[in-house]
Amino acid sequence: MIKPVLVFLLFYVHVFMLQAQTSDDAFVIKKIYETALAESNAYEWLTHLSENIGGRLAGSPNSYKAEDYTQHILDSLGVTTTFRQATETTYWNRKEESQVFAHLTDNAKILLPSTSLGNTIGTEGKEVRAKIIEVNGLDEVDQLGEEMISGKIVFYNRPMDPTLINTFNAYGGAVDQRAFGASRAAKYGAVGAIVRSMTNKLDDVPHTGSSIYEDGVKRIPSIAISTNAAEMLSDMLSRNPDLELSFSNDNEIIPNQTNYNIIGEWKGSEKPDEIIVVGGHLDSWDLGGGAHDDGAGCVQAMAVVEIFKKMNYQPKHTIRVVMFANEENGLAGGREYARLAKENGEKHLSAIESDAGGFTPRAFSTDGLDSYFDEKFKKVSSWFTLLEPYGVTLIKGGSGADISPLKEQGPLLFGLRPDSQRYFDFHHTAEDHIEAVNKRELNLGAAAMTSLIYLIDSYGI
Amino acid sequence: MIKPVLVFLLFYVHVFMLQAQTSDDAFVIKKIYETALAESNAYEWLTHLSENIGGRLAGSPNSYKAEDYTQHILDSLGVTTTFRQATETTYWNRKEESQVFAHLTDNAKILLPSTSLGNTIGTEGKEVRAKIIEVNGLDEVDQLGEEMISGKIVFYNRPMDPTLINTFNAYGGAVDQRAFGASRAAKYGAVGAIVRSMTNKLDDVPHTGSSIYEDGVKRIPSIAISTNAAEMLSDMLSRNPDLELSFSNDNEIIPNQTNYNIIGEWKGSEKPDEIIVVGGHLDSWDLGGGAHDDGAGCVQAMAVVEIFKKMNYQPKHTIRVVMFANEENGLAGGREYARLAKENGEKHLSAIESDAGGFTPRAFSTDGLDSYFDEKFKKVSSWFTLLEPYGVTLIKGGSGADISPLKEQGPLLFGLRPDSQRYFDFHHTAEDHIEAVNKRELNLGAAAMTSLIYLIDSYGI
């Protein structure tokens, strides 16, 4: 039996050590934030990626430039090695942007701001013209059935719910229309699908994004119109249900392209076989510069190495910075990374992704296998008093699309959760350029990720 | 003595009631947020204020338009009454913007982006030309003394500290140069003061703001240059210490103007003599539209009434929405409001100000008289679990310039603390327009303020 005085002493020493440790950690994290805010080049890298290179959809010429550029930056940061993982991708190329007209009379028509949705087929040089049926979602199409749908253009106009605080939840509640609307409408004989853009903002900016054709269903064109145009079209239809819409567009699909995950590996000094992944996806939609989605995540991940190097911090575990290929149009990069990790018997301690924009960080959400999750969540939660001064909390939830295929191999996954209010002002649009990114907000995200990795590296999981 | 079983029962009932209450409150607060996000007209009011009316410095023609407009809105919201409180103001009018040139040679000069600082005198049609001495702050001017300063232009170039997380702290650490730089330099015979703009961002946008002349010291012109210009000028000086600068500007001072606090009063149903103030300041610098500073605070304060009315909520205490006059150039409105409150023996329960931009709210800071502060802070803190889902915390600190004169009369003061990263990208510049404000972020601020007032109204302080 341990005597009370000894218990007391042990307790005292334990508390003392914890405090000493915590105060050291607080100092390191302060230094991480200071370095990120005063010295990081993340914003300059992002400017190059989004403006000098630009939109970089998988398989596009720009996608290869982005691979070369980020590998060059990773090399210049002094990681141990950089390498590539090949993935097969299909290049969907927007040859001629959609033109959508609402026909008021035989000789008066209004051009609606529009954009072809990713993977859609084109109209093969023709103009498709038909009456419109406005619906609230996929279910209503099923209810209306062939009699009401056949030969018409289905207009999906359910808005994102403005009352949800987190805009990603509102997006999740509306995006089925964009993803599955065309095939659902085609089942009942529709000739095209027009989808209200995925944003809470009322403006003239159309938002693209992936649309997915169901196997065995006729492929019909799938086009987004701006929210203002959707409001106006709905209004016109309420006065004239026989209003016709016409549209044309031209796209090509070029299969069998090769894109690469770009990886910078920095070997750990004590546990080189235990890997911490940090990354974003390198591809972006073609309309803008992919600044928030997801250039921000890519440069923040690279900045983790930059910040540690500037601080002369040598991680104990191996850090892998991964620029994932083709998240937007199939998740090829994330799947291939996980497949190879399994095949090579690698041990991943943790993986962190930033893919929700370069805004002020508010939280990390975390995810992992049920068998250990609550225990690990508790341990990691205890670190977050250190991030309180920076307004960053830990919540349960998903992580990131690219790292999620790793989940079954056991690492604890994290997704950076920045303030979400502005994200869907820019998401998948021609407005997603460097001007939409605030340098300090971007750097705060890099600092939050570097701090989390420092804590994982210090205490394990 | 109360029997244990009774204690247990009382405890049980107490806990039960607390929970019932809390769940009702959570419901009301959810409804407040939903109403703010889906139905508020705050953004439309702000668009009118910042774009149709525009910059509205105290005493300017626009300042009167802004008074009429906000009184009209308050009337239309159905408050019990609206009224005005007269304040005497001095109109500083920027007649001809500053022109600042760096002279490379006798016939090569560079125009630096610049703006006259508020209250500065002009050069009376002349161009002032002199050598420059760059300093790190007011103390360095004292150290250099007359020998080094006399006949020169003093160039204040200490940047805002980029490593501080809260940008208001960085502003507070640099703004003495703008406020007091001219008089300090004039004491030692300087002919002008040039001040690096108050922002962390490196760009070509000059920031104005108040400069204050010391009584009995010769008045010399006081001009801000953009941060990029400051960096370039410093660089040029390091190569050529004899570099000369020239400047000219023209301003007029028109005393004895009258501006008004615009007040909408909504009588409480149970305690009409206990007042909760909510407000912002109506004046703004002339360069931009005063969208963030402080149109945002004004429309958020008006939205408190709008949201309650849409919810059919009748406050128990009297709510006063106050558009304070002339914060930027003397705080005349805030002082007069407090003076009249005292003179009329009014009882102010609380006062809340929003004057830190229309960004996503992160916290309220609170302030009050020492005699009760800790106790009240504890009580109010207990409410904030209700605001956790909205990411809003309570911190100790200041409140707002306009409500601070009320402090000595005893109300608990609150300042809305939005995310601060972008504020000084726009503050006091030609960029402070409606495009810089995100509608959802603005409405979230209004919702946070309405929620706090609902809790004060429900539980007192």
* Confidence at residue A19, expressed as pLDDT on a 0 to 100 scale: 45
Q: Is A38 on the interface with B (CB under 8 A)?
A: yes
Q: Which residues of A touch B163 (CB under 8 A)?
A: 33-34, 37-38
Cite the beta strand spans of B53-196 per DSSP E: 81-105, 108-112, 114-116, 128-135, 153-156, 192-196
Q: Which residues of B touch A441 (CB under 8 A)?
A: 421-422
Q: Is A127 on the interface with B (CB under 8 A)?
A: no
Mean pLDDT value of segment A66-83: 98
What's the whole-number average pLDDT of chain A? 95
The pLDDT of residue B19 is above 70: no
d(CA B134, CA A351): 48
Query: Tokens for A113?
Result: 């701001």
| Cα of A305 to nearest chain B Cα, Å | 19
| Cα of A390 to nearest chain B Cα, Å | 7
Report the share of chain B in percent with pLDDT over 70: 95
Report the share of chain A in percent with pLDDT over 90: 93
Nearest beta carbon to residue B200 from set A362, A425, A440: A440
For residue B13, CA distances in Å to A319, A436, B5, B10, B386 come to: 54, 53, 12, 5, 21
3 state DSSP class of A410: coil
Q: Do A37 and B425 touch (CB under 8 A)?
A: no
* Confidence at residue B330, expressed as pLDDT on a 0 to 100 scale: 85
* Confidence at residue A23, expressed as pLDDT on a 0 to 100 scale: 84
Nearest beta carbon to residue A33 from set B37, B165, B167: B165
What's the whole-number average pLDDT of chain B? 95
Picking from B168, B203, B362, B421 by the largest number of A CB atoms within 10 A of its own CB, the best residue to mutate is: B421
Q: Is A82 on the interface with B (CB under 8 A)?
A: no
Q: Tell me which H or E stretch contains A72.
A: helix A61-76
- B312 pLDDT band (50/70/90 cuts)? very high
- B2 pLDDT band (50/70/90 cuts)? very low
The pLDDT of residue A201 is above 70: yes
- The total number of residues written for chain B in this structure: 461
Domains detected in chain A: 29-80+267-459 (3.40.630.10), 96-252 (3.50.30.30)
Quick check: B420 and A441 in contact, CB under 8 A? no
Which of B294, B273, B263, B283 lies closest to B415 in space, CA to CA?
B294
The β-bridge relationship of strands A128-135 and A244-266 is antiparallel
pLDDT tens figures, A386-441: 999 999 999 999 999 999 999 999 999 999 999 999 999 999 999 999 999 999 99
d(CA A46, CA A54): 10
Phi, psi of A212 (to 5 degrees): -125, 120
Q: Which residues of B touch A165 (CB under 8 A)?
A: 33, 37, 389-390, 444
- A21 pLDDT band (50/70/90 cuts)? low
Nearest beta carbon to residue A162 from set B38, B167, B362: B38
Chain B residues 356-415 within an 8 A CB cutoff of chain A:
360, 362, 389-391
The β-bridge relationship of strands A244-266 and A81-105 is antiparallel
The pLDDT of residue A9 is above 90: no
The β-bridge relationship of strands B271-281 and A412-418 is unpaired
Q: Do A163 and B34 touch (CB under 8 A)?
A: yes
Query: Tokens for A131?
Result: 């009456």
Site of tokens 């159309």: A206
d(CA B375, CA B380): 9
d(CA A81, CA A71): 10
pLDDT tens figures, A86-96: 999 999 999 99
Q: Is B200 on the interface with A (CB under 8 A)?
A: yes
Interface pTM (ipTM) of the complex? 0.92
To 10 degrees, what angle do helices A61-76 and A296-310 make?
Answer: 10
Quick check: B322 and B103 in contact, CB under 8 A? no
d(CA A307, CA A34): 10
Name B32's Cβ contacts closer than 8 Å, sequence gap at least 6: B307, B311, B447, B450, B451, B454
The pLDDT of residue B188 is above 70: yes
* Confidence at residue A14, expressed as pLDDT on a 0 to 100 scale: 45
Amino acid sitting at position A96: E
Picking from A359, A440, A442 by the largest number of B CB atoms within 10 A of its own CB, the best residue to mutate is: A440
Name B220's Cβ contacts closer than 8 Å, sequence gap at least 6: B121, B182, B185, B186, B190, B191, B192, B193
* Confidence at residue A162, expressed as pLDDT on a 0 to 100 scale: 98
| Cα of B187 to nearest chain A Cα, Å | 35
Quick check: A115 and A206 in contact, CB under 8 A? yes
pLDDT tens figures, B25-38: 999 999 999 999 99
d(CA B189, CA B183): 10
* Confidence at residue B21, expressed as pLDDT on a 0 to 100 scale: 55
Quick check: B412 and B350 in contact, CB under 8 A? yes
3 state DSSP class of A346: coil
The pLDDT of residue B249 is above 90: yes
Q: Do B360 and A419 touch (CB under 8 A)?
A: yes
Quick check: B326 and B333 in contact, CB under 8 A? yes
Picking from A360, A425, A426, A431 by the largest number of B CB atoms within 10 A of its own CB, the best residue to mutate is: A360
Which of A419, A426, A400 lies closest to A280 in space, CA to CA?
A400
Q: Which residues of B touch A389 (CB under 8 A)?
A: 165
Q: Which residues of A touch B162 (CB under 8 A)?
A: 37-38, 440
Query: Tokens for B400?
Result: 């707002």
d(CA A224, CA A118): 10
Q: Which residues of B touch A439 (CB under 8 A)?
A: 201
3 state DSSP class of B15: helix
| Cα of B150 to nearest chain A Cα, Å | 35
Q: Is A166 on the interface with B (CB under 8 A)?
A: no
| Cα of A281 to nearest chain B Cα, Å | 25
Amino acid sitting at position B174: A
Q: Which residues of A touch B438 (CB under 8 A)?
A: 421-422, 425
**Inter-chain contacts counted by CB atoms under 8 A, chains A and B:** 55
Name A388's Cβ contacts closer than 8 Å, sequence gap at least 6: none
Q: Do A425 and B438 touch (CB under 8 A)?
A: yes
Ordered DSSP codes for B71-105: HHHHHHTT-SEEEEEEEEEEEEEEEEEEEEEEEEE
For residue A90, CA distances in Å to A281, A348, B113, B246 come to: 16, 29, 49, 61
d(CA B377, CA B263): 28
d(CA B93, CA B111): 23
Task: Give the lowest-confidence range in A6-10, A46-50, A65-69, B355-359.
Answer: A6-10
The β-bridge relationship of strands B222-225 and B114-116 is antiparallel
Q: Do B165 and A444 touch (CB under 8 A)?
A: yes
A51: burial class by Cβ within 10 Å (0-12, 13-18, 19+)?
A: middle
The β-bridge relationship of strands A153-156 and B192-196 is unpaired
Q: Which residue of A has its CA nearest to B167?
A: A440
Q: Which residues of B touch A391 (CB under 8 A)?
A: 165, 362
The pLDDT of residue A18 is above 90: no
Cβ atoms < 10 Å from Cβ of A76: 11
The pLDDT of residue B127 is above 70: yes
The DSSP bridge partners found for residue A260 are A86
Name A332's Cβ contacts closer than 8 Å, sequence gap at least 6: A58, A87, A88, A89, A259, A325, A326
Q: Do A425 and B441 touch (CB under 8 A)?
A: no
Longest dimension (CA), chain B: 97
Cite the beta strand spans of A297-367 per DSSP E: 317-324, 347-353, 361-367
The pLDDT of residue B17 is above 50: no
Q: Is A444 on the interface with B (CB under 8 A)?
A: yes
- B97 pLDDT band (50/70/90 cuts)? very high
Which of B67, B115, B119, B127 lies closest to B90 in space, CA to CA?
B119
Task: Give the lowest-confidence range in A210-214, B326-330, B358-362, B440-444.
Answer: B326-330
How many CA within 13 A on the CB side of residue A33?
24
